[in-house]
Amino acid sequence: MRGTDFVSELLFLLPLFDPPVPDLKVE
């Protein structure tokens, strides 16, 4: 059940990344 923790961490760290990620733009 670490997948949910991983996603939560990603969502929490995403705002810290100012440069946009091309992978996210494709989706």
Long-range contacts, 19-22 (Cβ 8 Å, 24+): none
Whole-structure pTM value? 0.34
Cα dihedral 11/16/20/5 (nearest 10): -20
- pLDDT by residue, tens only, the chain of 27 residues: 567 888 888 778 777 666 666 666 555
**What integer pLDDT is reported at residue 24 of this predicted model?**
60
**What integer pLDDT is reported at residue 3 of this predicted model?**
73
- Total of domains in the chain: 1
Q: In terms of residue numbers, what domain contains 12?
A: 1-27
Amino acid, single-letter form, for residue 6: F
